[in-house]
Amino acid sequence: MSVSTVGNGRVELSGRSALLAVGDLLAIGTFVAVGEFTHGINPFLNPGRFAGTLTPFLLGWVLVAAIGGLYTSDGIGTLRAAVSRTAVAWVLAVGIAQALRATELFPGNAALTFALVSILVGGTLLVCWRSVAATLLHRYVDRKEGLLR
């Protein structure tokens, strides 16, 4: 079965990649929302602030994940690939997010401690999500050829 791709085949346009993207958004959004609550900011009452905090992480993630092929079948081809590629991509995405936060365009600033917390907490959420996705997609979807391709 043929799958449409963009970016030199680094992103597959499929139900599988859409599912991964939604899960990634939820994982990163959860990380940012919990962080906002921890700092006394209610993201539901301050959606502009929440969006401003979320955007650098999403931009970093989308850039690195797309270049790294995380939205392809190979990106979660095995559990090991899902975990290792996600972890590396998130570390790079946090670096980009921190660089963006160092500008006046986004709330917050670049801080080593926040980068480490971001890597650990956000990375844990993403790695867990991607591990579950890889396992379930292989177990239930790939056996039913083409269901989410």
Using pLDDT thresholds of 50, 70 and 90, give the confidence band for residue 21: very high
> Which domain range does residue 32 map to?
24-141
Q: Quick check: is 4 in a domain?
A: no
pTM of the model: 0.86
Q: Quick check: is 147 in a domain?
A: no
User: DSSP of 7-39, one letter per residue?
Assistant: TTTTEEESHHHHHHHHHHHHHHHHHHHHHHHHT
Q: Quick check: is 15 in a domain?
A: no
Question: Residue 4 and residue 134: Cα distance in Å, rounded?
Answer: 20
116-133 pLDDT tens trace: 999 999 999 999 999 999
Q: Quick check: is 70 in a domain?
A: yes
- Give how many domains the chain has, as a whole number: 1
Q: Quick check: is 17 in a domain?
A: no
